[in-house]
Amino acid sequence: QGSSTSLSSAQVSSPAEDINAEILQDEVPAVPPYISDRYRVGRMLGDGNFAVVRECVELSTGREYALKIINKGKCRGKEHMIQNEVAILRRVKHPNIVLLIEEVDTYNELYLVMELVKGGDLFDAITSANRYTERDASGMLYNLANAIKYLHSLNIVHRDIKPENLLVYEHADGSKSLKLGDFGLATMVDGPLYTVCGTPTYVAPEIIAETGYGLKVDIWAAGVITYILLCGFPPFRGSSEDQEALFDQILMGQVEFPLPYWDNVSETAMDLIRSMLEVEVDQRYTALQVLEHPWVTNEGLCENEHQLSVAGKIKKHFNMGPKVNDTNAGVSVISVSDQLQASTGLTAIRHTLKCFPQMNIFFSLISLISSNALDRANFLSFLMCAGVWFLPLFSWMTAFLCSDLGRWISTSTRLCTG
């Protein structure tokens, strides 16, 4: 079997029988006979909202894997998301993707035996490296773009590509490669998608604008990561308290390369980043175009030898410290944030309203309605008395107040303003 072949290169640090000598810090749960007959279940690697991950060793071979145990009782109402994630994991078999080996479904739990990736995540690799150059960053993007190209060939979009989901696989010969994990937000694409999800720093503008999106949101995220790989901080920045400022920057898509941080980075690299962070989706690169770009191919390697000093900036910007319950096994914690959805929607609307300065009054009045300080009937009276700038706009706003969108914005405004 193809997946088993690629996994056989993993070197096991201790034989299966030696795991009994370990003093486990947590209680090993009872597992189904099928699992206990084939695997020795060991220490906890991490946990999430409704899943825990444990190390396990295949008794017949001594190979190490990660056993993800999903508690069905804790994810009621999200069963379809679990089923979707597992269905996608069954389909994908690629050297740069964390593999699903097998699954066991019981009444209370779902057990997933996954490839164990022990080298840490992308940021770990960079911050622990003695020497780090553009060549290294180029190789990392090559691995990621290969994974994305494969997924997109299957019409699968990942939707949560970020450094924490890029894990370092250490091969038997000492070489390393990246593997993409966490398919909790991945889905098939058979038309425009509208679900607002992802991680704010890496989310594409079309997700924020809610105009419909597709496969290329993964390219945007990869572009953000490439930018970080070369300077240590993201191209679009905002505080956790001011997420809307971040989303405004993303919608504008103005990519800058400030000095002195980009002094020693090649123009070829910056050219690729601009093409990956193109707001116009049709103009944005595909995964194949990324792989064919000179910075990724051998053509650009001659200028990639300058050592980059990004480790300190990554640690500072991303507040890297000891990781609690870090699985390093591509384990997902499914999360579609309502707050993110509300914030992105409002940001997109505000961005559009900037084209009409007088509409700021309208948006302020929407906020009053949402706080019950002004009812809709009085608002309509106000518009009529004010003469509202032109009739089409008045008609649109009247319809707006009676629409589902109006009710959604009223609700979203309350979410964003507390």
Residues 239-287 have pLDDT tens digits of 666 788 899 999 999 999 988 889 889 999 999 999 999 999 999 999 9
- Sorted by sequence, the CB contacts under 8 Å of residue 226 that are 6+ apart come out as 137, 141, 269, 272, 273, 276
Query: Quick one: average pLDDT of 175-187?
Result: 92
CATH of the domain at 241: 1.10.510.10
Choosing from 115, 143, 178, the residue where a domain stops is 115
pLDDT tens-place string over residues 329-358: 444 433 444 445 445 554 555 555 454 454
Binding positions for ATP = 68
**In a domain? residue 350:** no
Other Cβ atoms within 10 Å of 130 Cβ, number: 5
CATH of the domain at 74: 3.30.200.20
Q: Same structural domain for residues 166 and 99?
A: no
Count of the separate structural domains present in the chain = 3
Q: Which of the residues 121, 124, 136, 160 is marked catalytic?
A: 160
pLDDT attached to residue 170: 86
Binding positions = 68
Q: For a pLDDT cut of 70, what percent of the chain falls above it?
A: 64
Q: Same structural domain for residues 408 and 282?
A: no
Cα separations in angstroms, 13 against 41, 284, 348: 16, 44, 51
Banded pLDDT at 129 (limits 50, 70, 90): confident
Choosing from 294, 312, 339, the residue where a domain stops is 339
**In a domain? residue 330:** yes
Q: Same structural domain for residues 293 and 406?
A: no
Residue whose pair of structure tokens reads 């099928």 in the numeric block: 34
**In a domain? residue 344:** no
SS3 of 313-373: the string is HHHHHCCCCCCCCCCCCCCCCCCCCHHHHHHHHHHHHHHHHCCCCCHHHHHHHHHHHHCCC
Q: Same structural domain for residues 107 and 128?
A: no
Our answer to whether residue 121 is catalytic in this structure is no
Q: Same structural domain for residues 383 and 317?
A: no
**In a domain? residue 402:** yes
Q: Are 320 and 40 in contact (CB under 8 A)?
A: no
Q: Same structural domain for residues 222 and 293?
A: yes
Nearest to 415 by CA among 344, 366, 342: 342
**In a domain? residue 155:** yes
Q: Same structural domain for residues 19 and 127?
A: no
**In a domain? residue 248:** yes
Nearest to 417 by CA among 362, 346, 352, 337: 346
**In a domain? residue 92:** yes
Q: State both tokens at 31.
A: 């597992």
What is the pTM (predicted TM-score) of this model? Answer: 0.74
**In a domain? residue 346:** no
Query: Quick one: average pLDDT of 19-25?
Result: 44
Q: Same structural domain for residues 45 and 140?
A: no
Q: Same structural domain for residues 131 and 106?
A: no
Q: Same structural domain for residues 131 and 76?
A: no
Choosing from 88, 115, 142, the residue where a domain stops is 115
Q: What residues make up the domain containing 403?
A: 357-417
- Sorted by sequence, the CB contacts under 8 Å of residue 43 that are 6+ apart come out as 22, 24, 25, 26, 54, 55
Output 188 or 82, whichever has higher pLDDT. Answer: 188
